[in-house]
């Protein structure tokens, strides 16, 4: 398992006193090292960059958010191992006031469930995406088709953190979208490609929305395993009510497994209506 997730509500405060909330999924490739680095460092580095940006944003707060995210991705990328083909995708979502800020590097994905519609807030960065292929070839690189499009026949995405041996073709610059929230917004789904390979944006939103709207009592779960059950000594373990977001994410992961996804699957569901 090379995926990691990072959840940090109220991880920093913006210039006007508004709390900012951080959620992310990182999908490691070639080993778990860079994904683990992202989990441990990305939110902390971004908090320092946002704090600096808040001091002199000059009224252009969206430009400041974009710049802070770009600098944070570059700083984490610089910490990745030298001379290695090991790296990670990164899809990061910031919630601040009525805005959803999404930064994406790789082929993990963010999808907004707005009413009955699925609104992608990121676009997968694949080597055969026309603009990405043109950029790679302009850098002197090649896109080869070996079990799908791959940079130099190795990496099945055109942007990622790490992968030092595949630079300059593979870059760490995120694509960033900023979306104003609507009263129709139900939830935001962040997931690695193990989910999206077998489940469409629309189906994922339908499943998540149904879980969040369901008012029936939830099952108990263990904090560590996600399932109710005995401890290693055979005694019952302490159980907690299962949050609806947890239930939605777990159901999506099980659905992807049922559809025989062949990749790691990590899912985060963020309830934008703050239900229990």
Q: Which CATH architecture has domain 3-271?
A: 4-Layer Sandwich (3.60)
Res 275: pLDDT: 63
**Per-residue pLDDT tens over the stretch 64-79:** 999 999 999 999 999 9
Res 134: pLDDT: 97
**Per-residue pLDDT tens over the stretch 206-217:** 999 999 988 543
Res 38: pLDDT: 98
Res 215: pLDDT: 52
Structure pTM?
0.88
List the domain boundaries for the chain. Answer: 3-271
pLDDT at 238 over 70: no
Res 214: pLDDT: 80
**Per-residue pLDDT tens over the stretch 98-146:** 999 999 999 999 999 999 999 999 999 999 999 999 999 999 999 999 9
Structural tokens at position 257? 């497994």
**Per-residue pLDDT tens over the stretch 212-233:** 988 543 333 322 233 333 333 3
**Per-residue pLDDT tens over the stretch 154-199:** 999 999 999 999 999 999 999 999 999 999 999 999 999 999 999 9
């Amino acid at each position: 398992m090379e995926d990691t997730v990072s959840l940090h509500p109220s991880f920093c405060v913006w210039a006007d006193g508004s709390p900012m909330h951080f959620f992310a999924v990182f999908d490691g490739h070639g080993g778990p090292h860079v994904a683990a680095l992202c989990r441990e460092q990305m939110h902390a580095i971004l908090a320092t960059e946002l704090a600096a940006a808040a001091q002199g944003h000059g009224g252009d707060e969206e430009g400041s958010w974009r710049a802070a995210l770009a600098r944070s991705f570059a700083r984490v990328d610089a910490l990745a191992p030298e001379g290695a083909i090991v790296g990670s995708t990164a899809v990061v979502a910031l919630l601040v006031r009525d805005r959803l800020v999404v930064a994406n590097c790789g082929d993990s994905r963010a999808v907004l469930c707005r009413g009955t519609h699925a609104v992608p807030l990121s676009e997968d960065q694949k080597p055969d995406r026309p603009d990405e292929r043109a950029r790679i070839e302009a850098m002197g690189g090649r896109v080869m088709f070996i079990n799908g499009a791959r940079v130099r026949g190795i990496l099945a995405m055109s942007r990622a953190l790490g992968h030092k041996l595949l630079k300059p073709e593979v870059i760490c610059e995120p694509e960033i979208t900023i979306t104003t929230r609507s009263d129709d917004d139900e939830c935001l789904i962040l997931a690695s490609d193990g989910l999206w390979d077998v489940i469409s944006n629309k189906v994922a939103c339908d499943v998540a929305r149904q879980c969040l709207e369901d008012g029936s009592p939830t099952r108990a779960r263990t904090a560590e395993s996600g399932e109710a059950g005995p401890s290693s000594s055979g005694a019952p373990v302490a159980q907690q009510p299962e949050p609806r977001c947890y239930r939605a994410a777990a159901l999506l992961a099980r659905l992807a497994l049922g559809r025989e996804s062949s990749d790691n699957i990590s899912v985060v569901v963020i309830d934008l209506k703050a239900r229990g």
